[in-house]
A and B are shown apart, each in its own frame.
Chain A
Amino acid sequence: MGIKKTFNNLKYRAGMGNCSEYIDLIHDVVDNQSTPAQEEYLRRHLKLCLKCLDELNLEKELKKAIQLKLVNQEVPAGLAESIKNKIQKSSS
């Protein structure tokens, strides 16, 4: 790893990277795809950056809205039975 890359990596870990470097991490955290170490990098950055904190809160709220407000379709009556009948016919 070159000196510049090492330095940028250190800045990123310290939370002092550019905001654009944390966009992926914000989504990863919202989707539970991040490691505890990565979450710590983001936490450090959020202490310094209100813009990214707003972005994280908005992404979390959007995900919550999708989960709460999208109604699940009820499975039509008889579908399970119909599938089982077809399977039985195909295997007999």
Chain B
Amino acid sequence: MEEQTEKKQHNDREKQRIFDEEFMPHLGALYNFAYKLTYDEDDSKDLVQDTFMKSFRFIDSFQEGTNAKAWLFRILKNSFINEFRKKSKQPSKVDYQEVEGYYNSEGTEKPSVTTDLRVDTVKNMMGDEVTNALNSLDVDFKTVIFLCDLEGFTYEEMSKILDIPIGTVRSRIHRARNLLKERLAQYAASMGYK
């Protein structure tokens, strides 16, 4: 919100119109994002309500015609980090800063995680395996997969939503997918695929 320098003052009626026409249509997508982050219905509801309350409070900072969905996702992500993530009992599984540094460094070879995983295996996976593999990832990796693959945000939009450089978005997606492939490969191996 801080980068929106030109603020337009709206009257109450305009605020309500913008809220109903530009923000509310994204309720479903926001709820899904919240659920993928918290895995709790009540927390997701709180997070989404909090996001909409903030969006209304800062509605003068929103420029009509710009990407409302990305703007709302950014508010939700910040609320999650600032308020909800602190409550999370689950420790971070991966030091992703370290991983990103590693993947950003020149000459890094891609790990050989795909040797025992075939395209057909992925095709034959039930939804549960994919969901479980995704759930096992650190929340920062889950977030980029969700934003990119399910919501279809561009790398640039994701960079703005997450407040990270595009290079970091890219490396985080690569790392997240490699981890997913590792988890699915383990599952495939346990089922006898080679």
Same complex = yes
Chain A interface (Cβ within 8 Å of chain B)?
20, 23-24, 27, 31, 33, 54-55, 57-59, 61-63, 65-73, 75-76, 79-80, 82-84, 86-87, 90-91
A80: nearest residue on chain B (CB-CB)? B27
The 7 closest A-B CB pairs, nearest first, are A69-B127, A73-B35, A66-B149, A69-B130, A61-B122, A75-B31, A83-B52
Question: Which residues of chain B have C-beta atoms less than 8 A from A66's C-beta?
Answer: 130, 134, 145, 149-150
Contacts of A79 in B (CB 8 A): 27, 31, 45, 48-49
The answer to whether B56 touches A90, judged by C-beta atoms less than 8 angstroms apart, is: yes
In angstroms, Cα B150 to Cα A69, docked, is 11
B24: Cβ under 8 A from any A Cβ: yes
Bound-state CA distance A55–B174 (Å) is 12
Shortest CB distance B32–A (Å)? 5
A80–B27 Cα distance when bound, in Å, is 8
Chain A contact residues: over half helix, strand or loop, or mixed? helix
Residues of chain A lying within 8 A (CB to CB) of residue B149 = 63, 66-67
Residue pairs across A and B with Cβ atoms less than 8 A apart, 19 shown, are A20-B109, A57-B119, A59-B177, A61-B122, A62-B180, A62-B184, A65-B122, A65-B123, A67-B149, A69-B125, A69-B130, A70-B131, A73-B32, A83-B48, A84-B24, A86-B52, A87-B52, A87-B53, A87-B56
User: Contacts A33-B155, A63-B149 known; A72 to B32 CB distance under 8 Å?
Assistant: yes
In the bound complex, how far is the Cα of B113 from the Cα of A69, in angstroms? 22
When C-beta atoms are compared, the residue in chain A nearest to B108 turns out to be A20
B85 at interface (Cβ–Cβ under 8 A)?
no
Distance A90 CA – B19 CA, assembled complex (angstroms): 13
The answer to whether the Cβ of B2 comes within 8 Å of any Cβ in the partner chain is: no
> Are A90 and B53 in touch, CB under 8 angstroms?
yes
Closest to A88 in B: B16
A57 to B74, CA, bound (A): 32
B187–chain A nearest beta-carbon distance, Å: 12
How far is B134's CA from A73's CA once the two chains are assembled, in angstroms?
15
**B residues 89-123 with Cβ under 8 Å of A?**
107, 109-110, 114, 117, 119, 122-123
In B140-194, the 8 Å CB interface with A consists of: 145, 148-150, 154-155, 170, 173-174, 177, 180-181, 184
Residues of A within 8 A of B180 (CB): 62
Question: Contacting B41 at CB < 8 Å: which of A62, A63, A76?
Answer: A76
A72–B48 Cα distance when bound, in Å, is: 15
CB of B12 within 8 Å of the partner chain: yes
Interface centre among B31, B131, B184, by most chain A C-beta atoms within 10 angstroms, is B31
The answer to whether B134 and A86 have CB atoms under 8 Å apart is: no
Q: Which residue of A lies closest to B51 (CB)?
A: A83
